[in-house]
């Protein structure tokens, strides 16, 4: 979930008074020396790769694990543990050549057999992104440095996925260990300093002295502090205690810049309502497309962007990235603010005012004003909303367990349409917890998988339009995702991810 809720927090302690030990915006650090101290908004939920999420937790994982492939800031896939690769004619067999000079911190050698075990384990694990490997039929080691992946059908985004959590490599000797979730054993640039780490609030990493790619170790030490509130992050920035952090509240940008930090912005998410229960299992009314369309017409997107997003972003009715092959600017304004039309659609669907009640979770992940606005806008068209308070620590788990038919949420607008299918739309997608299927979406997916470039691009645009028309979601706007960096730190934001990848941080010296 490349930026799954920008404000979800599981830490109970704000570290606004912690000393970074790094540049923190004052002084200079030579490459390969000093400390990089960054703020995070969620604690590490697990270091077990088969269960690992991405997005907000990617910094923890990248510190200790290598991935099969790397990605540049613009998303271009580059060699890493895999040095070269090729597909067969129908893109169902991927053959990769692997490095032979990589060793895990427990002394285990990395080879094709290890890579195969990790891939199958991730496919069968509990990661929110396990669906990224849904087409993975089998993996085998042809020899020590040759890996062969066999797919049941093409996966157009597979190479990108192998640069993320599906491609992370953990020592097989550590699989199932009692401390696997808290004590990572990888081959990455850093190792977790368990003595200096306070689980849930502060994570410290020391340089892996035997790392095979020392030019990627831009710092001698990493510190990742977990901040429980936007105010805590802002105070740490004002105190020059951190070198970088995501801003969960864009209203603080001017204060951040006044402190001498740079606000690095990009657009990679959408904010709005997720209408999970499209078959009406919990909320029968949501099975009617007219009800879902009415919900879309109920919201004043311009007002929401101004009030909630502080004007940083762009309104939309689509979850598909405008930069992808499925991007269509005309769909951004498909649903206007029209309460009258919303009421008429509800009437046509057979629902009088007050006959529909949606039970939704309410969490500290979003400010109370957001929930008040949802209740107001839907109430204005005759839909009641009942909120149930949910702890931030269980918010995501409850959503993915299909406990609620709809919710306020922020999810990634993925770089490719295939990633949107795998993340949000197909029956086995992580953010389709009710496993709703649709024959037309399945047809578009098949063309995107196996058609020519022109056919796939056309299908991607048709898919985007269809999902908007069917109102599977009720997006409001694409917010600016902002990452603040200190004057002595250079960073490049990462396409498709809320956090810059670790190798994109470099001291200015």
Calpha distance 35→215 (Å, rounded)? 16
Identify the CATH homologous superfamily for domain 1-64+188-261+486-509.
Periplasmic binding protein-like II (3.40.190.10)
Angle at Cα 371 formed by Cα 291 and Cα 343, nearest 5°?
25
Domain ranges of the chain: 1-64+188-261+486-509, 66-182, 269-480
| pTM recorded for the entire structure | 0.79
pLDDT value for 7: 36
Output the six-digit token pair for 34: 């000093």
pLDDT value for 17: 31
pLDDT band at 357 (very low <50, low <70, confident <90, very high): very high
pLDDT value for 60: 98
Calpha distance 136→231 (Å, rounded)? 43
Radius of gyration for the chain, computed over Cα atoms and rounded to the nearest angstrom:
23
Which residues lie closer than 8 Å to 442 by C-beta, 6 or more apart?
426
Which residues lie closer than 8 Å to 176 by C-beta, 6 or more apart?
none
Region 471-496 average pLDDT: 95
pLDDT band at 10 (very low <50, low <70, confident <90, very high): very low
How many whole angstroms from its chain centre is CA 179?
25
Region 85-96 average pLDDT: 96
CATH number for region 66-182 = 3.90.76.10
**Same CATH fold assignment for domains 66-182 and 269-480:** no
The DSSP secondary-structure symbol of 251 reads G
The DSSP secondary-structure symbol of 109 reads B
Q: Let me know how many helices (H) and strands (E) the chain has, helices first.
A: 13, 22
Does 13 have pLDDT greater than 50?
Answer: no
Level-2 CATH architecture, domain 269-480: Roll (3.10)
Region 14-31 average pLDDT: 45
Calpha distance 23→241 (Å, rounded)? 8
**What tens digit of pLDDT does each residue of 364-390 get?**
878 899 999 999 999 999 999 999 999
Does 350 have pLDDT greater than 90?
Answer: yes
Calpha distance 206→137 (Å, rounded)? 38
In angstroms, the first-to-last Cα distance of the chain is 34
Q: 436 near 79, Cβ under 8 Å?
A: no
Q: 11 near 39, Cβ under 8 Å?
A: no
Q: What are phi and psi of 470, to 5 degrees?
A: -80, -5
Output the six-digit token pair for 395: 């918010």
How many whole angstroms from its chain centre is CA 286?
26
Does 218 have pLDDT greater than 90?
Answer: yes
**What tens digit of pLDDT does each residue of 246-284 get?**
998 888 999 999 999 999 999 889 999 999 999 999 999
pLDDT value for 2: 38
The DSSP secondary-structure symbol of 446 reads H
> Cβ of 179: how many Cβ atoms within 10 Å?
12
Calpha distance 223→215 (Å, rounded)? 19
Does 11 have pLDDT greater than 50?
Answer: no
Region 392-405 average pLDDT: 90
> Cβ of 60: how many Cβ atoms within 10 Å?
24
Calpha distance 418→425 (Å, rounded)? 10
Q: 223 near 34, Cβ under 8 Å?
A: no
Regarding beta strands 262-267 and 473-485, do their DSSP bridges make them parallel or antiparallel, or are they unpaired? Answer: antiparallel
**What tens digit of pLDDT does each residue of 24-63 get?**
544 555 667 899 999 998 899 999 999 999 988 999 999 9
Q: Helix, strand or coil for residue 79?
A: strand
**What tens digit of pLDDT does each residue of 117-126 get?**
999 999 999 9
């Amino acid at each position: 979930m490349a930026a799954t809720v920008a404000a979800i927090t599981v830490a109970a302690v704000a570290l606004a008074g912690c000393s970074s030990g790094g540049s923190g915006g004052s002084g200079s650090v030579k490459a390969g020396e000093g400390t990089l101290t960054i703020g995070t908004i969620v604690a590490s939920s697990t270091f077990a790769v088969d269960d690992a999420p991405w997005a907000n937790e990617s910094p923890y994982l990248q510190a200790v694990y290598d991935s099969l492939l790397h990605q540049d800031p613009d998303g271009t896939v580059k060699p890493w543990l895999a040095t070269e690769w090729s597909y067969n004619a129908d893109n169902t067999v991927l053959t990769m050549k692997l490095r032979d000079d990589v060793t895990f911190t427990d002394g285990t050698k990395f080879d094709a057999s290890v890579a195969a075990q990790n891939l199958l384990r991730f496919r069968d694990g509990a990661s929110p992104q396990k669906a990224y490997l849904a087409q993975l039929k089998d993996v085998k080691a042809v020899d020590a440095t040759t890996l062969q992946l066999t797919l049941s059908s093409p996966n157009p985004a597979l190479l990108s996925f192998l640069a993320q959590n599906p491609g992370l490599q953990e020592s097989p000797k550590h699989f199932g260990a009692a401390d696997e979730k808290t004590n990572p054993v990888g081959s990455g640039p850093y190792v977790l300093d368990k003595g200096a780490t306070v689980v849930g609030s502060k994570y410290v990493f020391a340089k892996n002295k035997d790392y095979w790619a020392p030019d990627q170790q831009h710092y001698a030490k990493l510190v990742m502090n977990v901040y429980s509130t936007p105010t805590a992050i802002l105070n740490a920035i004002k105190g020059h205690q951190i070198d970088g952090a995501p801003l969960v509240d864009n209203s603080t940008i001017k204060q951040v810049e006044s402190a001498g930090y740079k606000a690095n912005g990009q657009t990679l998410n959408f904010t709005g309502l997720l209408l999970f229960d499209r078959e009406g299992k919990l909320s029968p009314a949501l099975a009617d497309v007219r009800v879902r369309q009415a919900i879309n017409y109920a919201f004043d997107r311009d007002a929401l962007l101004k009030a909630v997003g502080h004007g940083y972003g762009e309104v939309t009715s689509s979850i598909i990235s405008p930069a992808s092959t499925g991007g269509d600017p005309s769909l951004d304004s498909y649903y206007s603010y029209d309460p009258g039309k919303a009421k008429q659609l509800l009437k046509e669907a057979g629902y009088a005012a007050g006959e529909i009640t949606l039970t939704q979770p309410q969490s500290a992940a979003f400010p109370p004003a957001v929930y008040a606005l949802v209740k107001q806008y839907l109430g204005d068209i005759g839909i009641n909303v009942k909120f149930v308070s949910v702890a931030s620590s269980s918010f995501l788990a409850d959503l993915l367990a299909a406990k609620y038919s709809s919710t306020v949420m922020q999810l990634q607008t993925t770089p490719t349409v295939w990633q949107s299918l795998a993340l949000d739309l197909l029956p086995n997608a992580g953010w389709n917890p009710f496993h709703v299927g649709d024959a037309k979406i399945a047809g578009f997916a098949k063309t995107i998988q196996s058609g020519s470039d022109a056919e796939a691009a056309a299908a991607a645009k048709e898919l985007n339009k269809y999902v908007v028309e069917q109102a599977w979601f009720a997006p409001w706007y694409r917010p600016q995702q902002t990452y603040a960096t200190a004057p002595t730190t250079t960073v490049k934001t990462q396409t498709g991810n809320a956090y810059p990848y670790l190798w994109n941080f470099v001291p200015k010296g």
